[in-house]
Chain A
Amino acid sequence: MSELEFQNVSYVNNGKEILHDLCIDFSPGSYVSIIGPSGSGKSTFLRLCCNLISSTKGTVLFHGKDVLQQNPIELRKKIGYCFQEPVLWGNTVDDNLSFPFQVRKQEIDEKKISCLLASFGLDEHFRKSEIKNLSGGEKQRVALIRTLLFEPEILLLDEVTSALDADNTGLVEKAILGLNQRGITVLWVTHNDAQSRKYADQLLTIENGRIKSLEAIK
């Protein structure tokens, strides 16, 4: 059974059709790169996946069950989404890293935080850094770590390396590959052609709100 499935899904906003009749499914543990011109509907597609918006037509299924029949909060805990523009809140990095624990009413797992920081090239002292002093790349990594603290079943990434240098992009790619090898499904929107083919096993192209192609990458 596929993990996530779109059945004739369309999405209309303010009278404008953003996505048209999408039919696609993703099997557990797949790694799919999503490409397409700006404004083609890639981000809307990801937002539909994690139920931040609902389709105006058609059905989105998660583990074979209509997402509209599932608890949206529990669903979002299983489908992590990292935004194109990293949004951080509070004063420090720690304020952001503690949020997923607060949401689940759990004790902060210091070890998990340290481990993730290290895998993204950041040290322990970084936790006390003030948000206003962070670079764009650092913000993106904090937002990504925040999403990964409780490993989701599906990870949605929206151009998460756009503000990173080559070294840090490599670190992020390696970390995501590691997660995928542990069975996490990855759907990664990118504008970088080389990146889209580097580790993914499928390449999905969206144009004008329609699926143009889905090709397997060897």
Chain B
Amino acid sequence: MKGVAISDTSLLLASSLVLVSLLFSYFQKLKLEKETLISVIRAVIQLFAVGYILQFIFGMHNAAVTTLILLLMIFNASYNAAKRGKEIKNGILISYLSILIGAGTTLSVLLLSGAIQYEAYQIIPISGMIISNAMVAIGLCYRQLSSNFKSRRNEVEAKLSLGADILPASMDILRDSIRTGMVPTIDSTKTLGIVSLPGMMTGLILAGTPPLMAIRYQIMVTFMLLSTTAISSFLACFLSYRGFFNKRKQLR
């Protein structure tokens, strides 16, 4: 395999591209020069740090450390997802469980089928993709749930007044919220290869992997994103809707 090798000199020369953005901002009076510089410096520092950390972890070949990092990644994602739904009770815990089960199920299938191995260099990048996807999906679910329970309050109360329990009274809202969480992943799946060549596939091709092998990985990634998004959205919605009701089965 012959991949693209980026030397320090070529990376330094490539950094001149930042100048284009800075000059553009300066002449167009966009006042984005400072922000651009800060963001570029931050990105470089963060990526170098991640690079060194990953290199260190990959070199350890320790399953316990890999698992610990996985759990930390899930916690971070849960924390961020919960911020999208401030009305959701126990948002962090629900998000954590939803992502853990969603990502856990998907990873188990991939491991058991032999598609990947429980090695840090495989598990961490793949988990990163599915966890961040689940985080975005759950965030969307929470926003939709909160907004629906506000805007469709009369509908829920009309159903309750007909003697419905809180689940049948909320079912249409739950379906709508799960759909909202899943639609972006389904939409991006539809346009794969037509609108965009996904980052992972592009990376593999640049690293010298033949396109026919790269698409195999991408197909696997697509399947796992769909599965994790579906499981996580479903769990997050079904675990959180109860928080919109009190013990007397009244809408809060």
Contacts and interface: CB of A to CB of B under 8 A. Distances in A.
A72 B161 contact: no
B249 interface: yes
B158 A50 contact: no
Interface stretch (A14-22, A32-40, A80-88, A192-200): A80-88
A79 to B, nearest CB: 8
B162 A76 contact: yes
A182 interface: no
Of the four ranges (under 10, 10 to 19, 20 to 34, 35 or more), the interface on chain A belongs to 20 to 34
A53 B250 contact: yes
A147 interface: yes
B114 interface: no
Given A103-B164, A104-B163, A72 B158 contact: no
B154 A52 contact: no
A103 B161 contact: no
Contacts, number: 58
A85 B250 contact: no
Given A85-B154, A87-B155, A103-B168, A147 B162 contact: yes
Contacts of A83: 154, 157-158, 161
Interface string B122-159: 00000000000000000000000000000000110111
A120 B158 CA distance: 20
B248 interface: yes
B159 A99 contact: yes
A172 B160 CA distance: 23
A150 B165 CA distance: 16
B248 A51 contact: yes
A143 B158 contact: yes
A68 interface: yes
Interface residues on B, range: 10 to 19
A102 B165 CA distance: 11
A168 B203 CA distance: 69
B248 A87 contact: no
Contacts of A85: 154
A77 B248 contact: no
B119 interface: no
A166 interface: no
Nearest to A53: B250
Contacts of A54: 248, 250
B154 A89 contact: no
Contacts of B172: 89
Contacts of A1: none
A72 B249 CA distance: 7
A89 B162 contact: no
Given A72-B250, A89-B155, A52 B160 contact: yes
A168 to B, nearest CB: 21
A42 interface: no
B156 to A, nearest CB: 9
Contact of A68 (B154, B155, B157, B248): B248
Contacts of A103: 159, 162-165, 168
A150 B162 CA distance: 9
A54 B249 CA distance: 10
A150 B163 CA distance: 10
A141 interface: no
B161 A52 contact: yes
Contacts of A80: 161-162
A19 to B, nearest CB: 16
Interface in A137-174: 143, 146-147, 150
Interface of B: 154-155, 157-165, 168, 172, 248-251
The 9 closest A-B pairs by CB, nearest first: A77-B163, A81-B161, A87-B158, A87-B154, A72-B249, A103-B164, A87-B155, A76-B163, A72-B248
17 contacts: A50-B161, A72-B250, A76-B160, A76-B161, A76-B163, A77-B162, A77-B163, A80-B161, A80-B162, A83-B158, A83-B161, A87-B154, A99-B164, A102-B168, A103-B159, A103-B165, A146-B162
Given A76-B162, A80-B161, 13 more contacts: A50-B161, A52-B251, A72-B250, A73-B165, A73-B249, A76-B160, A87-B154, A87-B158, A99-B164, A103-B164, A147-B161, A147-B162, A150-B163
